[in-house]
Amino acid sequence: MIHLRYIILSLSMLLMIASCQKESYTNSGNENHNIQELCKANQSKISVKQGVAGTLIMKEGNCMPMIGNGENPNPCLSYPVERTIQVYEPTSPEEAEGRGPSFEEVHTKLVVETNSDEDGFFQVELDTGRYSLFIIEKGRYYRNMLKDNLIGPVTVEIDSVTIENPVIDYAVY
Say what the alpha-carbon torsion angle 152, 106, 47, 78 is, to the nearest 10 degrees. 50
pLDDT digits 0-9 by tens, 70-121: 665 668 889 999 999 999 999 999 999 999 899 999 999 999 999 999 999 9
Class for the domain spanning 2-169: mainly beta
At residue 63, the pLDDT reads 85
At residue 173, the pLDDT reads 84
pTM recorded for the entire structure: 0.77
CA–CA separation, 119 and 54 (whole Å)? 10
pLDDT digits 0-9 by tens, 124-145: 999 999 999 999 999 999 999 9
One-letter-per-residue 3-state SS of 8-33: HHHHHHHHHHHHHCCCCCCCCCCHHH
